[in-house]
């Protein structure tokens, strides 16, 4: 009997399947321009996991990647174009897009890169100007 929570994630066509084990290190909404362009949305729902908890269990040959910076390697399905995750090697986490996870209880703790937000959110969550200090940001909070 498993002692840790497990989640399954799939791309749009189902050709790539992820298995996520454990609990995320953090969950938040990201408003940076890069995430907005990648997700084609005004905001990106993020769950950060230890790399050991994220595995591609089917369709590894379909996974494409794009290394935008030394901090991010974005991955998607080359068959359907569905976005899957972003590896952040300098931070030691993998950002799995919550939209691909089945039955995942997304419970964000804050908004990051809120200084770049296109749409205001009035949800009572902390709004960070950029990123937490631990991740190289200023750690500055903005008013809601």
Q: Within 10 Å of residue 1's Cβ, how many Cβ atoms?
A: 2
Give the domain CATH number at 20: 2.170.150.70
In a domain, 1, yes or no: no
In a domain, 113, yes or no: yes
pLDDT tens digits, 34-56? 999 988 899 999 999 999 999 99
Query: By residue range, what is the domain housing residue 47?
Result: 6-142
More confident residue, 78 or 38: 78
- Rounded to an integer, what distance in angstroms lies between the CA atom of residue 29 and that of residue 35? 10
Is residue 110 scored above 70 in pLDDT? yes
**What is the number of domains present in the chain?**
1
pLDDT tens digits, 88-105? 999 999 999 999 999 999
Say whether 73 sits in a helix, a strand or coil.
strand
């Amino acid at each position: 009997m498993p002692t840790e929570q497990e989640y399954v994630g799939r791309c749009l066509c189902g050709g790539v399947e992820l298995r996520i084990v454990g609990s995320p290190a953090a969950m938040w909404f990201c408003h940076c321009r890069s995430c907005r362009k990648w997700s084609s949305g005004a905001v990106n729902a993020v769950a950060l996991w230890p790399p050991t908890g994220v595995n591609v269990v089917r369709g590894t040959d379909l996974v494409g990647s794009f290394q935008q910076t030394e901090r991010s390697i974005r991955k998607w399905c080359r068959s359907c174009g569905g976005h899957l995750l972003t590896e952040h090697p300098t931070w030691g986490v993998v950002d799995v897009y919550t939209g691909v996870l089945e039955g995942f209880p997304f419970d964000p703790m804050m908004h990051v890169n809120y200084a770049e937000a296109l749409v205001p959110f009035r949800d009572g969550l902390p709004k960070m100007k950029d990123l937490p200090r631990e991740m190289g940001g200023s750690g500055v909070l903005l008013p809601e």
